[in-house]
A and B are shown apart, each in its own frame.
Chain A
Amino acid sequence: MSLPTARGAALRHVRRRAVNGLMWGWGVVCVLAAVIPLGFVLYYVIAQGASGINLDFFTQLPKPVGEPGGGMANAIVGSLILVGLASLVGLPIGILGGIYLAEFGTNRFAWTVRFFADVLSGVPSIVIGIFIWAMVVVPTHTLSALAGGAALGVMMIPTVVRTTEELVRLVPVSLREASLSLGATHWRTVLKIVLVAAKGGIVTGVLLAVSRIAGEAAPLLLTAGSNQFWSTHINQPMPSLPVQIFTYAIQPYEDWQRQAWAAALVLVSLVFVLSVAARYVTRGRFRMVR
């Protein structure tokens, strides 16, 4: 082996720069490949949906085929009710479960719960739909908002459990110790200190879970069903935006297709607003800066 020469060093330098440039370029291409489809989806939904958005869309009920106009007021309200019901099912179970796993999760039972939460988050939504159909719809003999809310709620649980667990774990030990050393009990420390410190992150997790289930159509087809009227009874079928999109988009009528696009745009906007809200909430007043 000879000592490195000036020529050799210069050559290596050129080579290193070339490799660097190549990898950088490759990175840019990959990022574009990831972002462009998203851009197209957004552009297309806006281009197609914007023309269908008007006051009627938000305030009117669907009109029968052939009659122009009409809107999806019932589906918008239905979606909100369904998401609300889902949150009633999913949030308490998810958040309490997450706290349990983070605070007491060293035993075998907790390991099992964690494993099944992960499995559940990978279960296709239509399967959860069938499950709720068998558990709720069949015994009650009717599709209902209740069943739909249950299906969406079950879908929320794994996400909420795991985000809550992660964020509760992130709360520094020093905060718990400070609270305990003042004579606070374990549950009080969790309730007043740990949860408060993790609040922003948990809310983000919850909003992300909500925006995911807000766009689900598959499980709702089997549980909440749909209709074309005002229906606020939770023990009866309830329309929702995703299901309405599905129903309208596969029809041959141009007017309905236009409304399906408009509904898609509303749904995307809803999810967008939720994501922004999630970001906003996390910049809390008492954020821990160190």
Chain B
Amino acid sequence: MLSTSVAVQPGSLRQQGDRAAKVEVEHLNFYYGRFQALKDVNLTIRERQITALIGPSGCGKSTFLRALNRMNDIIEGTRTEGEVRLDGQDIYDRDVDVVALRRRVGMVFQRPNPFPMSVFENVAYGPRIHGLARGSDLEDLVEESLKRAALWDEVKDKLRDSAFALSGGQQQRLCIGRVLAVGPEVVLMDEPCSALDPLSTLRIEELMHELQQKYTIVIVTHNMQQAARVSQETGFFLHGEMIEFGPSTTIFTDPTDKRTEDYVTGRFG
């Protein structure tokens, strides 16, 4: 982790192009008032693999991520243009139910943000609002979700304790379990490890590796080694534009664009 050169791990060597497109983004423009944060972004995210988005602070990668489950809607004075298709359907279409969309496209945030409730209630919250399960079914669902988030063994005896009693890394896995509980297809992760220590980071990365068997994962990260380690494809953002997108091995070892090369070799950013 300390080296500045980027080590490419075998995890990213899997063949590309054999996976179907899950999310297709076309001509996406996004404005905060007059400021254009995203400029004509085009991108295809393939299913059941990890797509990483890298770039310097303020380049629009988090904004882009939040465009994928319409979390930007809640910020006043913003405007979105272009198309984001989930399984072929434009999520910005007028008759799209945002509630249903966000159930399919979940989100994990930069800082662990558990609810001020017990561990159990944190995970049960999502299934409850969508009426997915109750009683013992709900208990099973919570257990299943926590197992998938690789947290069950650590918390099974303190399900009734406050979620704030957990460590930062456990809280973040709890937040992942909370998302998994509503049965998403896509999981968006906005710098999920930036507030965590190296060991917790490792655990989350291992977890992501597991999760990609079943879920489509998009991760925004500042940490290029992390992007190289976990992802199959990587997109490089700069000043609201997507400069280059391709297999992670290519992006980190043989990028086409000079700016990508400068960034991944640590010449700026």
Contacts and interface: CB of A to CB of B under 8 A. Distances in A.
Contact of B102 (A106, A183, A288): A183
B178 A196 contact: no
Interface in B130-172: 130, 162-164
A185 B117 CA distance: 19
Nearest to B160: A285
B182 A174 contact: no
Interface in A208-244: none
A183 B99 contact: yes
A177 B102 contact: no
B116 A178 contact: no
Interface in A171-191: 172, 174-185, 188
Q: Could you say which interface size class chain A belongs to?
A: 20 to 34
B48 interface: no
A183 B100 contact: yes
B74 interface: yes
Nearest to B73: A180
B258 to A, nearest CB: 36
B174 to A, nearest CB: 11
Nearest to B114: A178
A209 B111 CA distance: 36
Given A174-B111, A285-B162, A182 B129 contact: yes
A185 B71 contact: no
B178 A182 contact: yes
B118 interface: yes
Interface range for B: 20 to 34
Contacts of B130: 183
B74 A177 contact: yes
Given A193-B115, A286-B117, A181 B107 contact: yes
B126 A183 contact: yes
A177 B107 CA distance: 9
Nearest to B103: A183
B116 A286 contact: yes
A192 B125 contact: yes
Nearest to B97: A183
Interface string A257-290: 0000000000000000000000000001111110
Contact of B113 (A172, A184, A196): A172
A179 B125 contact: yes
Contact of A288 (B116, B118, B175): B116
Given A188-B129, A285-B162, A181 B116 contact: no
Nearest to A171: B116
B116 A182 contact: no
B103 A182 contact: yes
A197 interface: yes
Nearest to A199: B116
A182 B123 CA distance: 11
Contacts of A287: 116, 162, 164
Contact of B117 (A106, A172, A177, A196): A196
A288 B164 CA distance: 7
B113 A174 contact: yes
Contacts of B106: 181-182
Interface of A: 106, 172, 174-185, 188, 192-193, 196-197, 284-289
16 contacts: A174-B109, A176-B74, A178-B178, A179-B115, A179-B125, A180-B74, A180-B102, A181-B71, A182-B129, A184-B125, A193-B115, A196-B116, A284-B116, A285-B162, A286-B117, A287-B116
